[in-house]
């Protein structure tokens, strides 16, 4: 039995290694990640995780694992920070507020059945000054990331409260991932 990681994120590969899992193949799925009109954040995260898993060709002896991390401020899905200007806007919106980090994971087993779980982590940022936002944007680590920050880096110093799974905020909820891999029959040590 072989494992395919449907993600090019080095963070997801590193997180899998923490539970003793090394993918046999890594494939970047190509899907449309735009939210559907009126789509709620939880539904969006689950839909994307499953779409990423299904977008990767799977041989008979392969299990596929994929994930999606979505940052939600109320019912609003925050985009990845593709530019510094967008990142500044995202950090200003998160400043002093609680938000949800929705980390969905999908495992497609040998039987072709998709198994999906969603981890909802509440994260509260301290109030950020304009200078703090500028320094964080200048370091570059939040570009391309959901919500404009990387909790495993400098942004962890902004977190005054976290309830849920830290690994889910990084990019893959390990408790849920392990449970799904076990339910799909993948051998874990």
Q: Which residues are catalytic?
A: 68
Identify the helix (H) or strand (E) that includes residue 29: none
* Both structure tokens of 66: 């994929």
SS3 104: strand
CA 106 to CA 64: how far, in whole Å? Answer: 8
CB 106 within 8 A of CB 122: no
CA 141 to CA 121: how far, in whole Å? Answer: 21
CB 150 within 8 A of CB 81: no
CA 97 to CA 84: how far, in whole Å? Answer: 21
Closest-CA residue to 39 (of 28, 47, 30, 51): 47
């Amino acid at each position: 039995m072989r494992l395919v990681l449907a993600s090019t994120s080095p963070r997801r590969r590193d997180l899998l290694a923490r539970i003793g899992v090394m993918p046999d193949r890594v494939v970047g799925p190509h899907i449309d990640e735009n939210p559907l009109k009126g789509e709620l954040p939880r539904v969006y995260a689950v839909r994307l995780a499953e779409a990423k898993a299904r977008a990767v060709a799977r041989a008979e002896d392969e299990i596929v694992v994929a994930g999606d991390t979505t940052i939600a401020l109320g019912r609003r899905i925050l985009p990845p920070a593709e530019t510094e200007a967008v990142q500044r806007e995202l950090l200003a919106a998160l400043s002093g507020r609680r938000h949800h980090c929705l980390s969905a994971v999908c495992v497609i087993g040998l039987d072709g059945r998709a198994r999906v779980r969603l981890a909802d982590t509440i994260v509260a940022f301290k109030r950020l000054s304009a200078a703090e936002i500028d320094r964080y944007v200048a370091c570059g680590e939040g570009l391309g990331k959901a919500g404009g920050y990387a909790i495993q880096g400098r942004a962890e110093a902004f977190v005054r409260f976290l309830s849920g799974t830290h690994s889910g905020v990084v990019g893959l909820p390990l408790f849920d991932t392990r449970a799904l891999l076990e339910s799909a029959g993948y051998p874990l040590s």
